[in-house]
Structure 1
Amino acid sequence: MRSTLALFALALTVSVPAAAANEPSDYAAALADAQRPAADKERDAARHPAELLAFAEIDPGEKVGDYIMGGGYWTRLLATAVGPQGKVYAFQPDEFIAFRAAYGDEQNAAVAGRANVAALRGPVAAPPFPEKLDTIITVQNLHDLYLGAFPPDTAAKSIAALFDALKPGGTLVVVDHSAADGSGTTAANSIHRIDKAAAIAALTNAGFVVEAQSDLYKRPDDPRTANVFDPTIRGKTDQFALRLRKPN
């Protein structure tokens, strides 16, 4: 009898496949969305959107935040990826709109015609997400929290707000321009970069656990000392990608 039970348990074990990892091909519909502007599609080669969405493990039906959404590139992709049963909260900080009014216009354009996307505005350190989220994505923005125009505690408050906005077990995906090793956050104000080690320290100090890192945007030829807006390097910077989890 005992051997029969053991064989039965083994059969159960081998008959249940492990959950498949997200694959870039899962997001073909998001990339092919007819509502995407031509300018977005032209940036796909450098931004590797399908690969990043797979790295972020975005699934249909999820509630996702696009923190500091910029021009809406990721907002539009996320809207299709989460599907009609999901929700995307596209957050544009008041401070950014005050600096450049077009950010408000771009937010409006990204949300228009998308029933599953809601536009949010508020202080950069207090994004008003109305419900707990499965995932938050922020791309090329973490360094902005260390700009001299903001109070010194802006980064700590912002990261804490993102931690609070996630469900237990939720994930934060961060992509940003790499600064030289050991430079900390000092390059944020001058060349719009941040040292990966400093980013990890700030995020883990807030309670996040690093779950995975990706070399998707690894570009060894970038010396990591030029301003990211320098025409010789723009669009070709070395960047890090992190997936962090809020513990259950």
Structure 2
Amino acid sequence: MRLLASIAAIAAMTLTAPALAQDEEPSTGERLLGRVLDAVLGPEEEAQSPPDQATISAMAAALDHERRAEDRVRDAWRHPAETLEFFRIAPGMTVVDYMPAGGWYSRVLIPYLGTQGTYIGLNPELHPDLTGYWDMYRNASSRIPSDARSWVGNEGARVVGLNTDDDLAAWEGSADRVLIFREIHNMRRFGWFHDSLVAARTLLKDDGLLGVVQHRANADAPASYVLGDRGYQREEDVAALFSAYGFDLVARSEVNANPADPADWEIGVWSLPPSFAGAEEGSEERARRAQIGESDRMTLLFRKRP
């Protein structure tokens, strides 16, 4: 209550103060109000210019291509066009896609970035004991360009593969964007977070942006639930972790939110589609989870801080 009263008092002082001239500095009270409101409400989203027709057409062509016939069923939950617009991705950019795995977003990004763009698939360095499924993240320099040919042929952006322990000097400060789709939990539980965020800072330009989509835990979820093994992360924890590595939160979006997800599954996010862990094929429980859909997800945009 004291906090709300303080906000109200500061706001009243600000609203009754005379209007500032265009070149006049804001008062201490106004600066304080801005900081308080940012802390309570989150940062105000910066105004963006709407995409031009060429950009809209490039996205439509990438999304509608026949190569995405199997991918398209997940568009209703992943909202690729709206998500990439929120992350301010445009053709011709250099974009880092962290852990592209089977290439779901690669099949959108590589054609969309176009022949003037560069797509960098960045994988973490794996412990030797992580094998099987995880082997796809090794040898990125040869594997990702080869995978890209199977995903999109020779269309679209130049494709580069990197691992976080590679010498990144040749690519330092080259990337307009770094994108991390649903991998924060793996970064935390397997110990990749530090090296991956250092690599992201190295690759990004000074004014570069970093976009995150991540399974979202309830705000009051216990710490034991959000260490990584269940997939879900608390939004404020993610914001704090990125801040500690020199990234300022620019904006939040609810484009990938799903309020029907209770986000408290014992097995974690894999209880929901497409995994349906613990729900047998044809069961009522599986049908119930199908109605819920994929996980509730935060969508956050950060800027690299000097």
Same fold per TM (> 0.5)? yes
Question: Are 2:64 and 1:21 aligned?
Answer: no
Structure 2 equivalent of residue 215 of structure 1: 254
Unaligned runs of 5+ in 2: 1-46, 277-288
**Counterpart amino acid of residue 84 in structure 2:** L
Per-residue Cα deviation, 1:33-91 (whole angstroms, up to 9, x for no partner) = 34x23211222122111101111111111000100112111112111221100010122
Asked whether the 8 Å contact 2:185–2:229 carries over to 1, the reply is no
Aligned mate of 2:238, from 177, 180, 199? 199
**Counterpart amino acid of residue 179 in structure 2:** I
Asked whether the 8 Å contact 2:251–2:300 carries over to 1, the reply is yes
Deviation at 1:173, TM superposition (A): 0.4
Unaligned runs of 5+ in 1: 1-17
Asked whether the 8 Å contact 1:174–1:242 carries over to 2, the reply is yes
Give distance in 2, aligned partners of 1:185 and 1:55.
31
Change (3 A) 1:22 1:204: farther
Deviation at 1:103, TM superposition (A): 3.1
Structure 2 equivalent of residue 146 of structure 1: 188
Structure 1 equivalent of residue 131 of structure 2: 98
Give distance in 2, aligned partners of 1:84 and 1:196.
36
**Counterpart amino acid of residue 176 in structure 1:** Q
Give distance in 2, aligned partners of 1:174 and 1:184.
20
Deviation at 1:161, TM superposition (A): 1.9
Change (3 A) 1:100 1:19: closer
Deviation at 1:242, TM superposition (A): 0.5
Per-residue Cα deviation, 1:148-188 (whole angstroms, up to 9, x for no partner) = xx34xx32332122122100100100000011214457424
Give distance in 2, aligned partners of 1:19 and 1:45.
24
Question: Are 2:135 and 1:77 aligned?
Answer: no
Structure 2 equivalent of residue 243 of structure 1: 301
Aligned mate of 2:73, from 42, 46, 57? 42
Give distance in 2, aligned partners of 1:222 and 1:161.
33
Per-residue Cα deviation, 1:129-150 (whole angstroms, up to 9, x for no partner) = 5522000111001111111xx3
Runs of 4+ in 1 over 4 A off after TM superposition: 104-107, 127-130
Deviation at 1:128, TM superposition (A): 5.8
**Counterpart amino acid of residue 100 in structure 1:** Y
Give distance in 2, aligned partners of 1:103 and 1:30.
24
Structure 2 equivalent of residue 31 of structure 1: 63
Larger radius of gyration: 2
Per-residue Cα deviation, 1:188-240 (whole angstroms, up to 9, x for no partner) = 43311111111000001111111111001111221111211112378521100
What is the RMSD computed on CA atoms of the aligned residues? 2.9
**Counterpart amino acid of residue 32 in structure 1:** D
**Counterpart amino acid of residue 58 in structure 1:** I
TM-score, length basis structure 1:
0.78
Asked whether the 8 Å contact 1:134–1:171 carries over to 2, the reply is yes
Give distance in 1, aligned partners of 2:293 and 2:198.
30
**Counterpart amino acid of residue 184 in structure 2:** L
Query: How many residues in Structure 1 have an aligned counterpart in Structure 2?
Result: 224
Give distance in 1, aligned partners of 2:269 and 2:161.
27
Which residues of 2 match residues 151-190 of structure 1 at below 5 A? 151=191, 154-182=192-220, 183-184=222-223, 186-190=225-229
Give distance in 2, aligned partners of 1:155 and 1:57.
24
Give distance in 1, aligned partners of 2:94 and 2:49.
21
Give distance in 1, aligned partners of 2:97 and 2:224.
23
Change (3 A) 1:68 1:245: same
